[in-house]
Amino acid sequence: MRATFFGFEIAKSGMQAAQVGLDVTGQNMANISTDGYSRQEVRQSTASAGVTKAKTAENTRNLAGGGVSLDGIRQIRDNFLDIRYRSAAADYGSLSKKVSVLSDVRAVLDETQTNGLNSMMEELYASLQTLSSHAGDIEFSGIVRSAAQKITKTLNQYSTRLETIVQQETEDLDTSVSEINQLLDKINQLNDTIKTETMRGGGTNELYDTRNAHLDRLADLIGIQTEPHDDGTLTIRVGNTVLLDGQTAAASTVSVVTDADGSISLAYASAEEAGEITVNSGIVAGSLDMLNGKGGYALSGENSFRGIAYYQQSIDDLAMALKNTFNELNALDGEEKPLFVGDDAKSLRISDEWLADANFLTPSQTGSLAGEPDNILRMICAMDQARTISPTFTGTFEEFTLSLMLEAGTDLNFYQNLENTSKLVKATVANQRESIMGVSLNEETANLMRYQKAFEAAARFMTTLDEALDVIINRMGVVGR
């Protein structure tokens, strides 16, 4: 036979379960616009009527169950989609950084809207042709000098602007690494809090949301892999490098290192070990490719991406090829008469002698007839002559400047297409993830009504039991008195 108050326990458990369901539904609706929030649901199961320890067990076949048991509140989240999203975010971060920097590089070399280096080369070529008909004329010699000076100033400007991009990207890289260290520290603290709360049986859902938001941002910056542990902590790796050990709470400090050859890399240091980090994705990977990429100048083991270093070296090679060609042609009887001085594109300029005297340019190597333009014609031929300017290019000066501009444009278009595709993949995975973890107002409204009805039903059940008990206590056995 059932206990007199057995039904009240069933009604009480139903009311408690409905109340928790209403609380969770309210929490979901309150955070419908909160970034990174994962919707929650009540986990409940039916409770048995219980078992007895008596040697002769009571027959409980005719007893109902013991009501409802609350098993906890869980997040609705797909770990597989989290992994896919962070991988897509890291790929997109790398590509978006490359597109951003390549856009700046192309703006330096672009001649579609302004007269750039190629136009200056054409102007020098045309002025030499005019001078060949007026050799020794100070006016036309001055026009050639002016055209040459425009080239040097344009090369100076290109070099300076590329250096500015390098400085900006170096600062951005430092900022990204600083943010990585801050995120690792926050995640390490959350690991410790989650571990403590898990052992105490406390709620950890909001802590998981905060940690997942940090992990998403960390994946944007530097492609990561995570390994969860039973105590709620997780370990973070980049490739084979452990940046945060969830079991020992040992977090590494990431830093930017400039190597002896000028290349930039990332290093890590913890209490146990230190070394270099190989980064293959994320915003940091894009920055390293743009800063270190030497393209066709790369030696074995060096970064062969066409980054800023490639375009800087290309501009320097053009400047030195131009300087050496014209200085050799301007020499007279073995005596050097340099038209250009400088060691790279940034320092290239007109020589003081040529700047002081426009006719410092040697019009003839014979010296027999005044006004002979044979040497000027050699300079014109030199501008039409194919020569090896860089390890990957042989052609004229004008062809080289066109090639450089086309490479910058082609690289930008290529990575823009990859970025658009990567952005679409990231958005698709984000939508899939949001469809699972996101809060649906319609669904929560339905849950609100469902739990409200459940609470009302449990309360009505308890009222019915109370009325029945009142009959037993106050009215049963009083007939005929």
Mean pLDDT, residues 353-368 taken together: 82
Under 8 Å between Cβ of 68 and 17: yes
Q: What percent of the chain has pLDDT over 70?
A: 94
pLDDT digits (tens, 9 = 90+) for 7-46: 788 888 899 999 999 999 999 999 999 998 999 999 998 8
**Sheet containing strand 253-258, strands side by side:** 253-258, 264-269, 274-277
Percent of the chain with pLDDT over 90: 67
Please, what is the Cα angle at 179 between 175 and 185, to 5 degrees?
150
pLDDT in tens, 199-211: 998 889 999 999 9
Confidence of residue 60 (pLDDT cuts 50, 70, 90): low
Residue type, 392: T
- Chain position carrying tokens 């444009």: 409
Span of 242-246, 281-285, 365-369 with lowest mean pLDDT:
365-369
Residue 478 has pLDDT above 70, yes or no: no
Residue 209: the pLDDT is 94
HEC string of the chain equals CCCCCHHHHHHHHHHHHHHHHHHHHHHHHHCCCCCCCCCEEEEEEECCCCCCCCCCCCCCCCCCCCCEEEEEEEECCCHHHHHHHHHHHHHHHHHHHHHHHHHHHHHHHCCCCCCCHHHHHHHHHHHHHHHHCCCCCHHHHHHHHHHHHHHHHHHHHHHHHHHHHHHHHHHHHHHHHHHHHHHHHHHHHHHHHHHHHHHHCCCCHHHHHHHHHHHHHHHHHCCCEEEECCCCCEEEEECCEEEEECCCCEECEEEEEECCCCCEEEEEECCCCEEEECCCCCHHHHHHHHHHCEHHHCCCCCCCCECHHHHHHHHHHHHHHHHHHHHHHHCECCECCCCEECCCCCCCEECHHHHHCHHHCCCCCCCCCCCCCHHHHHHHHHHHCCEEEECCEEECHHHHHHHHHHHHHHHHHHHHHHHHHHHHHHHHHHHHHHHHHCCCHHHHHHHHHHHHHHHHHHHHHHHHHHHHHHHHHHHCCCCCC
* pLDDT > 50? residue 216: yes
* Structure token pair of residue 4: 């007199």
pLDDT of residue 407: 93
Strand-pair partners of 257: 265
- Going by C-beta distance under 8 Å and a sequence separation of 6 or more, which residues neighbour residue 204? 194, 197, 198, 232
Select the more confidently predicted residue: 402 or 49: 402
Mean pLDDT of the chain: 89
- How far apart are alpha carbons 361 and 452 in whole angstroms? 96
User: How does residue 4 score in pLDDT terms, banded at 50, 70 and 90?
Assistant: low
Confidence band, pLDDT 50/70/90 cuts, at residue 268: very high
What are the tens digits of pLDDT across the range 382-392?
999 999 999 88
Q: Is 57 exposed, middle or buried (0-12, 13-18, 19+ CB in 10 A)?
A: exposed
What pLDDT, on a 0 to 100 scale, did the predictor assign at position 241? Answer: 92
**How far is the C-alpha of 460 from the C-alpha of 222, rounded, in Å?**
57
Q: Has this prediction a pTM greater than 0.75?
A: yes
Q: What is the pLDDT of residue 52?
A: 43
pLDDT value of residue 475: 76
Q: Which residue has the higher pLDDT, 55 or 222?
A: 222
Answer yes or no: are the C-beta atoms of 282 and 220 closer than 8 Å: yes
Amino acid 367: pLDDT: 53
If one compares 9 and 412, the residue with the highest pLDDT of the two is 412
What are the tens digits of pLDDT across the range 301-349? Answer: 889 999 999 999 999 999 999 999 999 998 887 788 899 999 999 999 9
* Residue whose entry in the numeric block shows the structure tokens 């057995």: 6
Instruction: Read off the pLDDT band of 61 (50, 70, 90).
Output: low
Residue range 415-430, pLDDT digits in tens: 999 999 999 999 999 9
- As a whole number of angstroms, the distance between CA 387 and CA 46 comes to 85
pLDDT, tens digit (0-9, with 9 covering 90-100), for 105-143? 999 988 776 778 888 899 999 999 998 888 878 888 899
- The residue behind tokens 């909160």 is 34
Q: Where are the domains of the chain?
A: 6-76+438-475, 82-94+178-305, 108-159+308-410
Cβ atoms of 437 and 209 within 8 Å: the answer is: no
What pLDDT, on a 0 to 100 scale, did the predictor assign at position 43? 92
- The pLDDT value recorded for residue 368 is 44
Residue bearing tokens 């005044």 = 370
Rounded mean pLDDT, 267-281: 90
